[in-house]
Amino acid sequence: MTMQSSFPSRLADARKRRGLSQLQLASIADCSQRHVSFLELGRTRPSREMVQRLSVALALSLRQSNDLLLAAGFAPTWSETPYGAEALAPIRQALDFMLAQQEPYPAVVVDRRWNLLHANNGAVAMVEFLVGPLDPGAAVNLADALVAPDVLRPHLTNWPEVVAYFVRSVEADAAADGTAETAALRDRLRGYAGVQASLAAPSAETASGPVLPMRFAKGAVTLELFTTLATLGTPQDITLQELRIESFFPMNDATREVFRQWASAPTSGRAR
């Protein structure tokens, strides 16, 4: 199947993922239901402007909008700039500022599929305490680190609840973006030992508080944290739209004190 001939099925799939009828999509995109039907049947070829209107109507990401344009035989609109490129220097500076303001508590910048791009000192301190120092330049995927059996799991005392919640969020991402890469991440996470059982089990944390905490324990040290996720408000680049800034906040005074102590101590002085 050529990219152009794949447009009808891609359009229909995107519409169904959004839970829209042809009539509803036509109303949002300001065209007729008959035109949407003909597009999905491949009986008419869309204009570039119509593909862009459909992308907006379907609330597609920039990456998905490009894919739909390519499927219709048009050049993509949106760029995907490498994170380290000079053009993104102002964005990286802003993210550095955000991560610095989060000190001494952890904060990280990740891409759409949880590949680590940047971490502040608080995040490095927590990871080094839990699993030891990472090799400089080593590629780190936080989804794998959380779900795999031999990284964070030995120290995450409520691993089943946290992982069930996290894997469901990745499943939602895979359903929303429809990409092979996110589907591969979802399948890889589902394949780790214990994940299917966690997904099937009722959550023990359902009524215990307003947020699901992450509870770590190693030796005499315990940490209880919740996280927030932030994104850029007006991205016009795929790389920037897919960035996530995850910040970790202490849920009790004991956790706050641990991070304050780590921030004031040299690396070699942190207990392991």
Q: pLDDT category, 3, cuts 50, 70, 90? A: very low
So where are the chain's domains? Answer: 4-71, 86-269
Residue whose pair of structure tokens reads 């597009």 in the numeric block: 39
pLDDT at 207 over 70: no
Instruction: Please tell me the least confidently modeled range out of 98-102, 104-108, 141-145, 202-206.
Output: 202-206
Strand partners, 224: 215
Q: Locate 35 and state its tokens.
A: 């035109």
Residues of the chain with pLDDT > 90: what percent?
86
Distance CA 78, CA 270 (A): 45
Q: At what angle do helices 48-57 and 22-29 cross, to 10 degrees?
A: 110
pLDDT score recorded for residue 154: 96
pLDDT at 247 over 70: yes
pLDDT score recorded for residue 138: 85
Between residues 218 and 201, the one the model is more confident about: 218
Distance CA 210, CA 204 (A): 13
Residue whose pair of structure tokens reads 């069930």 in the numeric block: 164
Fold category of 86-269 in CATH: Beta-Lactamase (3.30.450)
Which residue type is seen at 98?
M
Rounded to two decimals, the pTM is 0.88
pLDDT score recorded for residue 2: 46
Distance CA 258, CA 144 (A): 26
pLDDT at 145 over 90: yes
pLDDT at 1 over 60: no
Nearest C-alpha neighbor of 11 from the set 239, 45, 77, 183: 45
CATH class label, 4-71: mainly alpha
Q: pLDDT category, 91, cuts 50, 70, 90? A: very high
Distance CA 4, CA 14 (A): 16
pLDDT score recorded for residue 151: 95
Q: Tell me the pLDDT tens digit for each residue of 121-136.
A: 999 999 999 999 888 8
Distance CA 194, CA 190 (A): 9
Q: Tell me the pLDDT tens digit for each residue of 7-52.
A: 999 999 999 989 999 999 999 999 999 999 999 999 999 999 999 9
What's the DSSP call for residue 232?
A: -
pLDDT at 231 over 70: yes
